[in-house]
Amino acid sequence: MDIFTLTNRLADDVDALQFSGKVACVYNPLRYAEKAHTRYLERFSTGRKRILFLGMNPGPWGMAQIGVPFGEINAARDWLGIHEEIGKPENEHPKRPVQGFDCQRSEVSGRRLWGLFSSRFATPEDFFRDHYVANYCPLVFMEDSGKNFTPDKLPKAESAPLYEACDRHLTGLIELLEPEFLIGVGNFALKRLETIVKGSSAIQDRAPVTASILHPSPASPAANRGWDGAVLEKMYAIGAWQKQESGTDTSEVGRLG
């Protein structure tokens, strides 16, 4: 199964789910930002990847706006070269409008993540030759107030079918990309990766290194004290990247043939 089929199946699966309680609005950027997300897949998902970075779900000023994982707008447009027309979610919250590439807010997590990658790789093609960035869950959840609501806070009756759909997609993605390193951006993503590895003998046979890096959210005091340095230290420690003594850092231990 190719990545486009996997993505379409995930979009269908999560569209069929219903959420209640504190969840007032649900956005699915795989639908209204399909052009940009498809462009991301077309440009950067081909071939095997040595390292997979996995986030939780879209941020309100990033992927929720433009359909690109950790999609800080300047990074997506100016470094990744993605700038597509963005539609609207079916039930748009008045305090969280989707403005696409016209949005003036910056997604700090995405700015930090793509900022690190662009500082260490001359071009996105250099980075994506061996790396890929994805989110576990494609949906954005909001409360009545417009406050962001993360999927880990859903009641079990609603999180279970969501996790089932997302686990199926993530398993297919890992089987397709065959990464040697599975890196959770934060602890939630790490736990989902560990669950996938535990549940798949085929993935276990390849024995990928599963680890996490500090989430780049500005809500994290540790991230605000020096996120780049903490991530570099972790990537060096697990053998995913090599430390460069001087010059431009391409960071891979070895490239795929």
Q: Reply yes or no on whether the pLDDT at 256 is more than 90.
A: no
Predicted confidence (pLDDT) per residue in 192-221, tens digit: 999 999 999 999 999 999 999 999 999 999
Alpha carbon distance, N-terminus to C-terminus of the chain: 22
The predicted pLDDT at position 245 comes to 55
Separation CA 209–CA 182 (nearest Å): 6
* Residues 83-90, mean pLDDT to the nearest whole number: 96
Confidence of residue 255 (pLDDT cuts 50, 70, 90): very low
Q: How many CA atoms lie within 13 A of 38 on its CB side?
A: 12
The predicted pLDDT at position 210 comes to 98
The predicted pLDDT at position 251 comes to 41
Which residue do the tokens 């997302």 mark? 166
Name every residue whose Cβ is closer than 8 Å to that of residue 112 and which is 6 or more positions away in sequence. 216, 223, 227, 228
C-alpha distance from residue 19 to each of 60, 120, 212 (Å): 18, 40, 29
Predicted confidence (pLDDT) per residue in 152-202, tens digit: 999 999 999 999 999 999 999 999 999 999 999 999 999 999 999 999 999
Q: Reply yes or no on whether the pLDDT at 134 is more than 90.
A: yes
The predicted pLDDT at position 254 comes to 31
pLDDT averaged over every residue in the chain: 94
C-alpha distance from residue 44 to each of 81, 132, 254 (Å): 11, 7, 19
Dihedral sign for Cα 125, 126, 131, 136, please: negative
pTM of the model: 0.94
β-strands 51-55, 131-135 pairing: parallel
